[in-house]
Amino acid sequence: MRCWWLTPLLWIGAAHGSVTGVPDLEQAERDYQQHCQQCHGVNRIGGAGPALLPQSLSRIKPDEIRQVIENGRPASQMAAFGAVLEAARIDSLTHYLQRPPAVEPTWSEEDIRHSHRVLADVATLPDKPQHNADPLNLFVVVEAGDHHVDIVDGDRFEVLARFASHFAVHGGPKFSPDGRFVYLASRDGWISLYDLHNLKLIAEVRAGLNTRNLAVSKDGRWVLVGNYLPGNLAVLDARDLSLVKIIETVGRDGQASRVSAVYTAPPRNSFIVALKDVKEVWELSTGPKPDFAPRRIEVQDQLDDFSFSPDYHQLLATSRQAQGGQVIDLDSGRVVTDIALPGMPHLGSGTYWKRDGRWLFATPNISKGLVSVIDLDTWKVIKQIPTLGPGFFLRSHANSRYAWTDVFFAQDNDAVHLIDKQTLEIAHTLRPMPGKTAAHVEFTRDGRHLLLSIWDTDGALIVYDSNTLQEIKRLPMNKPSGKYNVGNKIEFVEGTSH
């Protein structure tokens, strides 16, 4: 999923005071050094506290940045500076933090190696689950509100373990092929390796200053991390996260590029790399003894927001030229077809299923209240399903009649629609907690139940029976965002993200 247009829509948190006036940036620099640097690092690259670079703050409204400086953050070490700094200085500091630092921050191979920490020796740990839950029906749940991760038993719906994550884990955690290990990426570049058998953190490394996401190779040997800052790829050894190689992402024409996202393509035994600033998509083979030299697929347009056909032969991406989606054959690199789609389709959150023996692909739309359904044989849009407003995620399971989608960006964001996968009509609309945003679903391995997030400080993970739609259980949580079922992910099943 990659969506440049979405960023302004995603500013988070409530506005309190407003940022006003002409900033005194020199005073702000002095205030940063005196009050912030100790936690947020020299040159703002982060330390005990998160990085405070424009890339790290781009999703947060200036008024929220100001409010956090003034009032601190509850349940964190971020203190309130309202009594220390007068209003105009807080305003200036808010401006200052949104500008690039005077010295461009760097993060070298040496910095990466220096940040590497091995916290437990896997060789000394039992290689069987040390809990009595089904290891392939565990869920990894990200609680974005207070930066924690929960490991949830997918049969009893109980939290087995909860641990603090690095700041802002984003994107899907990825699993080793046997489901024992999970890899998490934080927006600040920290990669964590966690053992789901022993419920223990194994290793951590900071692979970049601003990271998009990570992918794990089909054989489980390599972790690939895609970075915005610095724009590059980091290859890590999946056993302990030690650095194997940095790959500079420079286009054929010599232009440096940020990395939008990285993906694993299991049938191709490769990683696919989406580049943000050049008209290329890269494929890195992960076959035996890989050299990670990129195969460059030149494309006609800057592509965004990716998805793949079920066999990974084709890539679906949004393209401004195509005014919608573009399908690219990953072998020949040729454009198969353009798909005119209105608004801003969110292909990365799309999902596919079979209907009358044919594969369909459905995508939510972040600027229009509709879900577009495409026939994957003809690449024709066969239905536009109207919803209560623009949505973000769409999820299903082979054993579910319904695909669940949200209304993330509209007033009705407390509603979720259940689309009947055969009639392509909305069969039900639920409002699990009226007034609170409901979004992102993941099914249990057998598809009998599903977990839905209520994205609120006083939020919850709600467990539904996927057939009767009865609520089974409600686990209170602080802004649970994504959740990921081990079995569904390692088997790359239909209906979920890969």
Binding site for ligand DHE (CB under 6 A): 1-3, 6-7, 10, 59, 144, 170-172, 212-213, 261, 348, 440, 481-482, 497
Half-sphere exposure for 214 (CA within 13 Å, toward CB): 36
* CB-nearer residue toward ligand DHE: 94 or 497: 497
**Closest CB to ligand DHE among 60 and 244?**
60
Token pair for 30: 């002095």
Tokens representing 266 are: 């299991």
Question: In the complex with ligand DHE, which residue's Cβ is closer, 23 or 171?
Answer: 171
Q: Which two tokens stand for residue 157?
A: 């719906």
Smallest distance, ligand DHE to C-beta of residue 170, A = 4
Name the pairing type of β-strands 426-430 and 438-443: unpaired
Closest approach of Cβ 59 to ligand DHE, in Å? 5
Between 11 and 359, name the residue whose CB sits nearer to ligand DHE.
Answer: 11
Retrieve residue 97's tokens: 């933090």
Q: Tell me whether residue 319 or residue 481 sits nearer to ligand DHE (CB atom).
A: 481
Cβ–Cβ under 8 Å, residues 330 and 315: yes
CB of 351 to ligand DHE, least distance (A): 10
For ligand DHE, give the closer residue by CB, 348 or 390.
Answer: 348
**Least distance from C-beta 14 to ligand DHE, angstroms?**
15
Q: How far is the CB of 348 from ligand DHE (least distance, A)?
A: 6
Complex with ligand DHE: residue 213 or 444, whichever CB lies closer: 213
Handedness of CA 208, 214, 217, 223 (dihedral sign): positive
Give me the least distance between CB of 182 and ligand DHE, in Å please.
12
Tokens of 214: 């990570």
What is the nearest approach in angstroms of ligand DHE to the Cβ of residue 482?
A: 3
CB of 278 to ligand DHE, least distance (A): 17
Of 140 and 247, CB closest to ligand DHE = 140
- Return d(Cα 220, Cα 218) in angstroms, integer: 5
CA distance 443 to 465: 10
* Contact criterion met (CB below 8 Å) for 234 and 227: yes
44 in Cβ contact with 105 (< 8 Å): yes
Q: How far is the CB of 92 from ligand DHE (least distance, A)?
A: 25
Identity of the residue, 81 or 443, whose beta carbon is nearer to ligand DHE in the bound complex = 443
* CB closer to ligand DHE, 85 vs 316: 316
In the complex, least distance from residue 442 CB atom to ligand DHE, rounded to whole angstroms: 7
Shortest distance, position 488 Cβ to ligand DHE, whole Å:
10
Which residue lies nearer to ligand DHE by CB, 324 or 348? Answer: 348
Closest CA to 139 of 196, 204, 217: 196
How open is the CA angle 392-187-437, to the nearest 5 degrees?
30
